[in-house]
Structure 1
Amino acid sequence: MPATITIASGATWEEVAADRQRHRDISLASFKPSLLNLPASSIPADATAIPRSILTAQDVEITEKNVEDLVLMLASGRWSAKTVVQAFMRRAALAQQLTNCVTELLPEQALKRAAELDDHLAATRKPIGPLHGVPISVKEHIGMKGLDLNAGFVGWVGRVAEEDAHILQILWAAGAVFYVRTTQPQTLMHLETSNNLYGTTVNPYNTTLTAGGSSGGEGAIITLRGSILGIGGGSIRSPAANNGVFGFKPTALRLPVGGWSATMTGADHIVPTIGPLSTSLEGVLLFVRTILHARPWLKEPSLVPIPWKDEVQLGEEGKGIKLRIGVIWDDEVVRPHPPVVAALSQVVEKLRGSNEVEVMDWQCYKHDLAWDIIAKLYFCDGGAEEKAAIDASGEPLRPLSKWILEENPHVQEHTISTLWQAHRERDAYRASYAAVWNERGVDVILCPVGPGVAPKLDTSRYWGYTAQWNLLNYPAVVFPTGIKVGRDTPGVGTEDLDAHEYPADYKPMSSADAYNYGLWKEHGVKGYAGAPVSLQLVGRMYEDEKLLRALDILLDAAGLAKTC
């Protein structure tokens, strides 16, 4: 039902936010049997063990399957779609209480859809499609017919999607069930998830840390297995990394974005992307294959018509090398915190001992310049549309909105000539980076996802490790290493972190590095305890399938799990 308490109806921003929270809570309570509310005082900093202690054995069994296993159970009829989606709705409701990751539960729609799928399977003995009965969580700014589409702005509450977003239409035809919508930040331009409608989404492993952004709701709900496959947009990699799940940012214009809501739609200076987060690599692969097999470019002609490719070329022909990996230890702007360096060292050491890959260090090419270029292309109207969306309700700027819009020295209102010049700089940088890659001849680049693990709330101020690849429009995939800060993980202990500590006489490389260094000195291992350490693999433009195949090989070579 569309919101009736809106700025247009004369409500204050606080009244609109309170109504949206009531709506969320009613949607959660409408699912029966609903879970008892957990008192905030009973939630530990690490909330990941709570679902198993509360849910039934069957609910735990269902929700702890990965997508590839759940598909088989549903297609065979061993579990009904209704039973499965009920289990995930219960766990999603619990995830909301633990991390504040949900904007709306959809029990009526989900149960109706599940019944249709069960009836079809009973009548035909065939699943509807490759995702028959699979519950998929959806970030709120991806339009769902008849539902609110506010994109994290109080002033946009009351906008309603006229139809499902294109990507949802494809997933629906493949048999998916949509049952929950998840949180996003004000402006959709944070590496955290914080807005004035619902507040802050926190990290399940350490609730003093962020779940990332802008798809932090997806990252948190998937970590707690209130979902095992979800749709994010924008920086999919930040929430995937912060929460220790798999996340894939494709090359822009490969997966459909029609029907989502955001400011600056129509701008093509830096084209945004949409992609999956999942508890398994196979979940990511199934999602992407399903979308591309539907040939979305026929409906959304701005997409590049590249079908899914099963066969890809790795390494150099005739040299017997299956995979060549370049390694970025730091981007020469900000040195990552010790847990990230330690995990990267562990993975690279294992790769060097494998016959499947060749590893070489990657000397970064002007990554500081890359930020200068992309930062002035993010808001080509000087942030006017973002500020107007915020000012429409009188809601205050969140801390990271203020940082990126008002404290970012690169924000400018472009003229036609300055915009053309910025495009020339972008294209020249892309050409220069391509030349460097051609010279070095690697297949993929292995690197950090950020300057540390999941940051403390309101401190995510360095985007270079993800924005770099946005500027170049390179696909990138995030994977968990299995290492958590301050945990006794085989192969990594306190001595490993000590070996990668900052030198006593460390001199920061930049002001951004000084800020990041200060965070580590202030909080250290105890402050980030429990946070998972993830890494990022990057490929060249339109080599998405090659990148995902490379990750599969890397995980085998490093002895890492393909599930989390």
Structure 2
Amino acid sequence: MPPKKRAKTKSWQDIAKQAQNDRTASLPESLVRICLPPIPNLPPSQQRTRCLPSPTVSITSLSPSAIVAAITSPSQPTMTASQVVTSFTLAAVLAHKTTNCLAELVYTDRAKSRAEALDATFTATGHPVGLLHGVPVSIKSHIGVKGRRMPSGYVAWYDDASDEHVAPDDALVVKILERAGAVVHARTAEPQGMMQLETVSNLFGTTTHPYSEVLSPGGSSGGEAALLAMGGSCIGVGSDIGGSIRVPAAACGLFGLKPTAFRVPTTGWAGTPPGGDGIVTVLGPMCASLEGVELFMRVVLDAEPWLVEPALVPMPWREVKLPPRIRIGVAWDDGIVLPHPPVTRTLGDLVARISGLPGIEVVDFPLYKPDEAWAIASSLYLTDGGASEQAILAASGEPPTPLMQWILDNPGVKDLSRSELEYWLEEREEFRIEYAGHWNRTGEWSDVAGRWEGTVDVLICPVAPWVAMRHGTAKYWGYSALWNLLDYPALAFPAGRADGEVDVKGVRKTFMSDHDRENWELCKWSFLYRGLCTNRVG
């Protein structure tokens, strides 16, 4: 539904300035004084050890389980929840100074008292509150935290005080995490409208990469990725409709999970309107460790959120016992855009390491009709032709950012009639059936068992055809959006760093497509993280 028209009393520039002032005011002055000013010409990733006290660096390097163990040791706790949250908040201040990753901190008026309450409870009982006792958690800012704005990167929504854009209560996922002992201390920046693989808005400006200010940490959960990579949070909650968790995770050397839809609760966010489920946006965890991703999912699903949000699949967290033999499919490219050399080298290194290991078989897996996949997905993202987005922009007078304009101008974005929408939804379902058949055909049909056997168990492929990119250039969603269309779970994981001396661009005379040519021209990198993605049916 288009936003209600209100008389404009302030310019969008004035609203954006107020948003930035509010954000600055949320940075605890006591911690700002401790954090040294950033050192000129030193990469943000190296600022951490130079500008923060050594105890802070040590604490913010711990995994979630190590934090819980240190706080709740039955014999002798080595730190308190208050010390942990203060350390991560201090690191978040530096992360923001160097990457512009925050929407706000909630330390002074929320996290500090929450940590003190956890310490008091443990002192009185000797027992942790839950599996996340004292673990600092950051939240993408369109996810509700009581009393806080949820602007989704729009100037007009920041200026809207209604319950639709100022959370009347914590989102369900926030409640679940805090009941398990987590401490929400930060809310992170997101791009205008969130339909970008970049993190830039007229509200808060551009978020930069933890290793280089000229590069992007990805989007739309790029604020989360930059904060986590700089040690400013332990676990982050992002969202994903076309790669928004996985692309930032891969670009910043993190783990990021896009779950299947209707697994993690979304009650209490500012997001897709009811009925706008052509491609479903999901919430998921981001963390520097795989352990943190698993812990998040365990905590959320053990809470049985489907009892509150009935649309969720009532399936608890399960311990999966791996079969004695695993078939791993590898997709080297999608036939439309060739990945840049660091990505291809990483994939080759991984295949070389796992090929021939006991119980593992590696086979090539050609991606199926990626051009058709994008045609369907792009037609189902903005089914009113972007009219809602344009109306929100018009409400404040703010201009679209370049990548927002790019998605609005995409040929697949059209104002669909009811019959046209039904057509594309039917195409989506047919494509999913075809893809299941494509996956099954990696095995053999058994007349005895009456099913396909020996199919690929897991697929490894690039998250994107590039490592962290220069700002404004992330325009190919094919590698990531495919799995949103299919609704397969997908995990991005770190796989090393690009190396300018090893990853030689080379000269290409032929290209798979115009997209391929354009992407190859952007082929520049330094010593940056590169990630891969695993995808499974289920």
Q: Into which bin does the TM-score normalised by the smaller protein fall?
A: over 0.9
Report the AA paired with residue 71 of structure 1. V
Counterpart of 1:434 in structure 2 is 436
Comparing 246-255 with 27-36, greater Cα deviation is found at 27-36
1:200 to 1:7, Cα distance in 2 relative to 1, 3 A: farther
Q: CA deviation at 1:31?
A: 4.3
Report the AA paired with residue 25 of structure 1. T
Counterpart of 1:546 in structure 2 is none
Question: How many angstroms apart in 1 are the aligned matches of 2:406 and 2:171?
Answer: 31
Counterpart of 2:452 in structure 1 is none
Q: CA deviation at 1:530?
A: 1.9
Report the AA paired with residue 429 of structure 1. F
Give yes or no for the alignment of 1:65 onto 2:72: no
Give yes or no for the alignment of 1:304 onto 2:286: no
Question: How many angstroms apart in 2 are the aligned matches of 1:192 and 1:33?
Answer: 27
Counterpart of 1:530 in structure 2 is 527
1:189 to 1:505, Cα distance in 2 relative to 1, 3 A: closer
Query: Please, which of 192, 195, 209 is the counterpart of residue 201 of structure 2?
Result: 195
Matches within 5 A, 1:71-220: 71-76=68-73, 77-108=77-108, 109-157=110-158, 158=160, 159-220=165-226
Report the AA paired with residue 46 of structure 2. A
Counterpart of 2:384 in structure 1 is 381
User: Deviation string for 1:444-483 (max 9, x for gaps)?
Assistant: 1100010110111000000011001010000000111123
Query: Please, which of 255, 269, 277 is the counterpart of residue 268 of structure 1?
Result: 277
User: Deviation string for 1:526-562 (max 9, x for gaps)?
Assistant: xx1121111111111x3xxxxxxxxxxxxxxxxxxxx
Give yes or no for the alignment of 1:393 onto 2:396: yes
Give yes or no for the alignment of 1:349 onto 2:355: no
> CA RMSD of the aligned region, Å?
1.6
1:331 to 1:93, Cα distance in 2 relative to 1, 3 A: same
Match of 2:381, SS state, is coil
Identical counterparts, % of pairs: 43
Question: How many angstroms apart in 1 are the aligned matches of 2:35 and 2:122?
Answer: 34
Question: How many angstroms apart in 2 are the aligned matches of 1:7 and 1:180?
Answer: 31
Report the AA paired with residue 145 of structure 1. K
Q: CA deviation at 1:412?
A: 0.7
Give yes or no for the alignment of 1:463 onto 2:462: no
Q: Give the TM-score, by structure 2 length.
A: 0.92
Question: How many angstroms apart in 2 are the aligned matches of 1:183 and 1:215?
Answer: 8
Report the AA paired with residue 417 of structure 2. T
Q: CA deviation at 1:94?
A: 0.2
Matches within 5 A, 1:463-502: 463-486=477-500, 494=502, 497-498=503-504, 501-502=505-506
Match of 2:329, SS state, is strand
Counterpart of 2:418 in structure 1 is 416
Counterpart of 2:329 in structure 1 is 326
Match of 2:464, SS state, is coil
Report the AA paired with residue 260 of structure 1. W
Question: How many angstroms apart in 1 are the aligned matches of 2:156 and 2:36?
Answer: 30
Match of 2:425, SS state, is helix
Question: How many angstroms apart in 2 are the aligned matches of 1:31 and 1:258?
Answer: 35
Q: CA deviation at 1:307?
A: 0.8
Match of 2:284, SS state, is strand
Q: Determine if contact 1:485/1:532 at 8 Å carries over to the other structure.
A: no
Q: CA deviation at 1:262?
A: 2.5
Query: Please, which of 51, 56, 63 is the counterpart of residue 54 of structure 1?
Result: 51
Match of 1:348, SS state, is helix
User: Deviation string for 1:1-42 (max 9, x for gaps)?
Assistant: xxxxx9867111000110111111111144446345736x71
Q: Determine if contact 1:263/1:386 at 8 Å carries over to the other structure.
A: no
Question: How many angstroms apart in 1 are the aligned matches of 2:468 and 2:261?
Answer: 25
Match of 1:450, SS state, is coil
Q: CA deviation at 1:269?
A: 0.9
Q: Determine if contact 2:272/2:281 at 8 Å carries over to the other structure.
A: no
Q: CA deviation at 1:69?
A: 1.1
Q: Determine if contact 1:485/1:533 at 8 Å carries over to the other structure.
A: no
Report the AA paired with residue 262 of structure 1. G
Match of 2:44, SS state, is coil
User: Deviation string for 1:355-403 (max 9, x for gaps)?
Assistant: 2411000112101110011000000111111111111110011000000
Question: How many angstroms apart in 2 are the aligned matches of 1:93 and 1:378?
Answer: 35
Match of 1:206, SS state, is coil
Report the AA paired with residue 536 of structure 1. C
Q: Determine if contact 1:35/1:94 at 8 Å carries over to the other structure.
A: no
1:156 to 1:191, Cα distance in 2 relative to 1, 3 A: same
Q: CA deviation at 1:192?
A: 0.6
Question: How many angstroms apart in 1 are the aligned matches of 2:508 and 2:198?
Answer: 31
Question: How many angstroms apart in 2 are the aligned matches of 1:292 and 1:17?
Answer: 38
Matches within 5 A, 1:241-320: 241-262=250-271, 264-312=273-321, 314=323, 320=324
Q: Determine if contact 1:264/1:385 at 8 Å carries over to the other structure.
A: no
Match of 1:141, SS state, is coil
Question: How many angstroms apart in 1 are the aligned matches of 2:341 and 2:322?
Answer: 35
Q: CA deviation at 1:266?
A: 3.5
Report the AA paired with residue 368 of structure 1. D
Counterpart of 1:238 in structure 2 is 247
User: Deviation string for 1:395-438 (max 9, x for gaps)?
Assistant: 011000000012x0111111111111101111111000001111
Question: How many angstroms apart in 2 are the aligned matches of 1:34 and 1:93?
Answer: 10
Question: How many angstroms apart in 1 are the aligned matches of 2:68 and 2:418?
Answer: 51
Report the AA paired with residue 87 of structure 1. S
1:8 to 1:162, Cα distance in 2 relative to 1, 3 A: farther
Question: How many angstroms apart in 1 are the aligned matches of 2:129 and 2:30?
Answer: 26
User: Deviation string for 1:238-276 (max 9, x for gaps)?
Assistant: 110110111010001111111111354531111110001
Q: CA deviation at 1:190?
A: 0.3
Report the AA paired with residue 451 of structure 1. P
Match of 2:27, SS state, is helix
Counterpart of 1:364 in structure 2 is 367
Report the AA paired with residue 65 of structure 1. L
Note the residue ranges of structure 2 that are not aligned, 5 or more in a row.
443-454
Query: Please, which of 405, 409, 424 is the counterpart of residue 408 of structure 2?
Result: 405
Q: Determine if contact 2:32/2:93 at 8 Å carries over to the other structure.
A: no
User: Deviation string for 1:474-496 (max 9, x for gaps)?
Assistant: 0000111123333xxxxxx62xx
Note the residue ranges of structure 1 that are not aligned, 5 or more in a row.
1-5, 315-319, 487-492, 543-564
Report the AA paired with residue 282 of structure 1. E
